[in-house]
């Protein structure tokens, strides 16, 4: 019998401030238990295990069977997953993320007769899923919601043989390809251990380290947005708020001036002082976050009202959606509500930070946190690809994500089948 000892500090009471902090707390406890279990398991010699194994083949239902106890010893990392019941899946292509990039990639790889598995933590929280209407995707009626479009993409991939599982991925492992075991890309989830010949990272970019504001999650998709290019046209002749002092917030606010009657740009820092510093001297930090020319363009717009050194406290609303944002000037106690119909938030909660916490150094990232890829969407590790907003491309659009998925899929087919040239998917089946 193996007794797992958990340090008392890991069992502090669950935080209650935000759902994101609670999620972080739960995962920290899970990883603590998992690592403790691993330490315990590694002290034993190999034992027979009851973990189920599935070799997932194209257009065939998964079959479950017990692994032979005569198998070679498992790697140390895998030991911690052998302590309980877990399905092990082998496939040609594993895709982490079920957004438009992941679904498009799966459609193409499945059509190429490559067994494909999508692991999606929650189909309802991605950038496309929370979009109320899609007006700029070719061939799609502007009344269609993002969730409906995503459902169609996913259904199409499934019809060609893709397997979709809801699972939270918390770690990946890329082993050396010694030729004996081509399934050397390993994805770890609480319920599945997925081994693939090729791995695709498509988790998007809605991550932030700060907690969401009160009301932000409640009105997400009903007035709260993280993409002005996607949703700006819906606020024609309306008042909107943009919160944040990053280069992204400045560009998004500038874009919104084309539609909104008034753009309330709210910055928690003294942006004017930073701009003055830029004019008078070289400021490395300022240059990193702001384009002064774009900032000046924004401030010159007649329909921009700048709330300098002001914090956004909450998003206000009712059954119809967002009705305003509550703000407070720094160093003052008085609070004020700005009436707006839309709130574009880049300073807290959601946003466009690439979601790469599960990668844990497995592939190279750029200085902004995006995964570095080449023209084939391949990362620094051979056979590992990254598509969509996880690359932190400035072109965060559904059609661009779908194009990334197509490029990666064709590159994967070339890689797995040892081709020298890309095989174009022109055959309609």
227 is catalytic: yes
**Exactly one of 91, 103, 105, 230 is catalytic; which is it?**
230
Distance CA 159, CA 173 (A): 29
Largest CA distance in the chain: 75
Asked if 200 and 105 touch (Cβ cutoff 8 Å), the reply is: yes
Asked if 274 and 233 touch (Cβ cutoff 8 Å), the reply is: no
**Exactly one of 92, 105, 227, 404 is catalytic; which is it?**
227
Q: Are strands 192-201 and 384-386 parallel, antiparallel or unpaired?
A: parallel
Q: Are strands 335-339 and 321-329 parallel, antiparallel or unpaired?
A: antiparallel
- For 163, 181, 256, 265, 397, the CA distances from 231, given in Å and listed in that order, are 31, 46, 9, 17, 11
Q: Other C-beta atoms within 10 Å of 334: how many?
A: 7
Residue (of 404, 398, 426, 326) closest to 126 by Cα position: 398
**Exactly one of 91, 92, 105, 231 is catalytic; which is it?**
231
Residue (of 46, 85, 42, 38) closest to 68 by Cα position: 46
Residues recognised as catalytic: 227, 230-231
């Amino acid at each position: 019998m193996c007794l797992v000892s958990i340090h008392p500090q890991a069992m502090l009471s669950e935080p209650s401030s935000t759902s994101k902090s609670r999620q972080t707390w739960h995962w920290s406890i899970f990883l603590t238990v998992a690592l403790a279990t691993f330490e315990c398991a590694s002290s034993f010699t190999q034992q027979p295990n009851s973990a189920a194994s599935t070799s997932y083949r194209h257009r065939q239902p998964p079959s479950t069977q017990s692994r032979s106890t005569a198998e070679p010893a498992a790697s140390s990392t895998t030991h911690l997953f052998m302590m309980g019941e877990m399905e092990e899946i082998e496939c040609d292509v594993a895709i982490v993320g079920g957004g438009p990039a992941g679904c498009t990639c799966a459609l193409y790889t499945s059509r190429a007769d490559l067994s494909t598995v999508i692991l999606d933590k929650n189909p309802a929280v991605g950038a496309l899923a929370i979009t109320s209407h899609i007006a700029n995707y070719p061939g799609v009626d502007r009344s269609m919601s993002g969730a409906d479009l995503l459902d169609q993409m996913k259904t199409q991939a499934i019809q060609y043989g893709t397997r979709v599982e809801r699972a939270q991925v918390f770690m990946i492992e890329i082993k050396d390809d010694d030729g004996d075991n081509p399934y050397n890309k390993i994805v770890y989830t609480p319920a599945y251990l997925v081994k693939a010949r090729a791995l695709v990272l498509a988790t998007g970019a809605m991550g932030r380290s700060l907690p969401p504001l009160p009301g932000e999650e409640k009105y997400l998709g009903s007035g709260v947005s993280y993409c002005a290019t996607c949703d700006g046209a819906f606020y024609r002749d309306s008042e909107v708020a943009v919160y944040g002092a990053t280069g992204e917030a400045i560009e998004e606010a500038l874009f919104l001036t084309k539609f909104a009657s008034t753009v309330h740009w709210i910055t928690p820092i003294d942006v004017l002082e930073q701009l003055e510093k830029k004019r008078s001297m070289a400021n490395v930090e300022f240059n990193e976050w702001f384009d002064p020319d774009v900032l000046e363009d924004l401030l010159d717009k007649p329909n921009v009202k700048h709330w300098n050194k002001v914090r956004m406290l909450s998003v206000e609303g009712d059954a119809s959606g967002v009705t305003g944002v509550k703000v407070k000037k720094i160093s003052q106690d008085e609070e004020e509500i700005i009436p707006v119909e839309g709130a574009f938030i880049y300073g807290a909660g959601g946003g466009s930070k690439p979601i790469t916490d599960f990668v844990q150094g497995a592939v190279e990232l750029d200085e902004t946190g995006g995964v570095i890829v080449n023209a084939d969407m391949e990362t620094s590790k051979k056979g590992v690809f990254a598509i969509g907003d996880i690359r932190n491309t400035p072109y965060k659009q559904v059609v661009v994500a779908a194009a990334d998925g197509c490029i990666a899929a064709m590159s994967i087919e070339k890689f797995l089948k040892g081709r020298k040239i890309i095989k174009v998917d022109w055959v309609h089946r």
